[in-house]
Chains A and B, each alone.
Chain A
Amino acid sequence: MGLEVSTPWQQVLDKIRTWARVNSPWAIHFNSGSCNGCDIEILATLTPRYDVERFGIKLQGSPRHADVLICTGPVSLQAKDRLLRIYWQMPEPKFVIAVGSCGLSGGVFHGCYNIVHGIDEVLPVDVFVPGCPPRPEGIIYGVAVLLEALKSGKRPERTMTVELPAGFEMPQAEVRQ
């Protein structure tokens, strides 16, 4: 992010943005080869018993509208490019929550030949939610932890660079004169 100017005006804008983000994070969900168990539980958090929309958390269909990528599964080789593409399409700043044991380490699929063994091998993950599958409460707690960190201004350090998958070009914004 090149625009690191810290004029007072910029600081006020940043505050407003953080406020908006914390109060209504939009999420996108991607299944990178999971067994559906975690995906069902993520979906369950949207339904009346847990209803995360109360907290402003909304599941979004398009990566371009999303702040948070909620990802499940051990990342199968075929889904890997897809996952990277979705990550690249998300606007900055973006956050990743890895849900489920197999998203953490490959879990029960550890040693299978067609997986990458964990989302953190591919993307910088901000929050891990363990469990096979984690309860919906656990997933909500994971999101809450992320929001709490955002509120206090602690941006997780990014030490990882994410490669653009081959054959995929980022659309460039057109500059109109």
Chain B
Amino acid sequence: MTLEKHGENRFVVPIGPQHPALKEPGHFEFVVDGEIVTGASVRLGYVHRGIEKGAEDRTWTQNLYLMERICGICSHIHATAFVQGVEKLAGVEAPPRARAIREIFAELERIHSHMLWLGVAAHEGGFDALFMYSWRDREVVMDMLEMLSGNRVHYSANLIGGVKYDLTPDMMDKIREGLNYLEERLAHYLDVVNNDETFIGRTRGIGTMTREQAQLLGAVGPTARASNFAYDVRVDAPYAAYAEFPVEMVVAQEGDLHARFVVRILETMESIRVLRRIFENMPESELVTRVPRRIPAGETISRVEAPRGELFYFIASGGGEKPERVKVRTPSLCNWGTVITLAVGHKLADMPMILAGIDPCFSCNDRLVMVKRNRQDPQVWTWADLRNYGIEYYR
């Protein structure tokens, strides 16, 4: 997908793959007419490793660890989606306590992911103070996850048929304490996002997406919910323990960048509330059920709500020790289409914020060539230059 034919006054601005703050490298090209973006395209695939094919050479259990490493931010949720599909094929169900623990991990992960995003998005807008604060507070969640599983990033909590780690009342008390602190901080961030003048100036009315557009472009997760498109797998098709401990869906009407900030912060607060509810009524049961080593032949799908939106797995088993086919559809990919559409008509300076607004997974650092009319030498830009340009533009 490249944009080649442009009119006389148009210039293509490629933004390429490398940035310390974002994940998954992607390459963009923006066609600009002066300051205004008139077209955009995206090219992905810099982190293509061949995981789906690799999954076919690994046993069901080995695959758990491979799937977890598709993404370092939503690691638990990938394993959960996979494990649920396999359990469905095998015709077993994880015990209630195991399902509750899966939900606990998933919600803790959502808190850490949203706080990470809040920092990164603020950084793109030039609010480095907010970046540092939210990452400092994020360490509280990381400590909880480390206490539960011994790992900061890949918790490996799931087993086929259950979970590995149990929660003791001691741990719950510690987590509660941390959650109280986080709730306070999040209230403060919500205040900043809603009332800080510069922040509003850069977010309100930028990248507005209507409900129809969201539906048409296949947006998922908080990006769609910020456009009043009420769809959340946790609510619409409860998995794990979400039927017993439901979450409330957070939606916003405006559909602009500001709404995306608000939705994610409110969602984090909702996660905290649901965690408290689980701790109060933790079901008692064993942690794993027996699962046969060979999974019966069949096909299934499995859907979960990752921090970025709906995550979809298709799993086919041939009745052996290894899967026959695993297909993964990640939420970020669904949301790319919205960026390409939303970018049109906005200023180049808004691009970093709009890109960050969908919480994308792309991280390779490309170059950006800025071609100005009447100028012979093309300037080569990095993502950092684009970010600085955006900050300077609004100074």
Contacts and interface: CB of A to CB of B under 8 A. Distances in A.
Interface in B349-395: 361, 363-366, 382-385
A111 B53 CA distance: 10
A35 B72 contact: yes
B185 interface: no
Interface stretch (B1-9, B16-24, B220-228, B252-260): B16-24
30 contacts: A31-B18, A31-B24, A32-B364, A33-B47, A33-B48, A34-B47, A36-B361, A37-B69, A37-B75, A39-B363, A40-B73, A40-B153, A47-B119, A61-B20, A61-B365, A61-B382, A76-B49, A79-B364, A86-B18, A108-B66, A109-B49, A109-B54, A112-B53, A113-B50, A113-B53, A114-B49, A115-B49, A115-B50, A133-B153, A135-B152
A8 interface: no
B217 interface: no
B54, B364, B383 pick with most chain A CB within 10 angstroms: B364
Contacts of B73: 36, 40
Interface of B: 17-21, 23-25, 45-51, 53-54, 57, 65-66, 69-73, 75, 116, 119, 131-132, 135-136, 139, 142, 152-154, 361, 363-366, 382-385
Interface in A13-40: 29-40
A163 to B, nearest CB: 20
A81 to B, nearest CB: 10
Interface of A: 29-44, 46-49, 59, 61-62, 73-74, 76, 78-79, 82, 86, 102, 107-109, 111-115, 132-133, 135
A64 to B, nearest CB: 10
Contact of B50 (A35, A107, A112): A112
Nearest to B19: A61
A80 to B, nearest CB: 10
A30 B135 contact: no
A97 to B, nearest CB: 14
Contacts of A111: 54, 57
A82 B18 contact: yes
B20 A36 contact: no
Given A37-B75, A47-B132, A79-B17, A31 B25 contact: yes
Contact of B54 (A47, A112, A132): A112
Contacts of A31: 18, 23-25, 47, 363-364
Given A34-B47, A82-B18, A133-B153, A40 B116 contact: yes
Contacts of A49: 136, 139
Contacts of A135: 152
B167 to A, nearest CB: 23
A41 B136 CA distance: 13
Contacts of A37: 69, 72, 75, 153-154
What are the 10 closest A-B residue pairs judged by CB atoms, nearest first? A37-B72, A61-B384, A36-B72, A36-B23, A47-B135, A112-B50, A112-B54, A48-B136, A114-B50, A37-B153
A36 B71 contact: yes
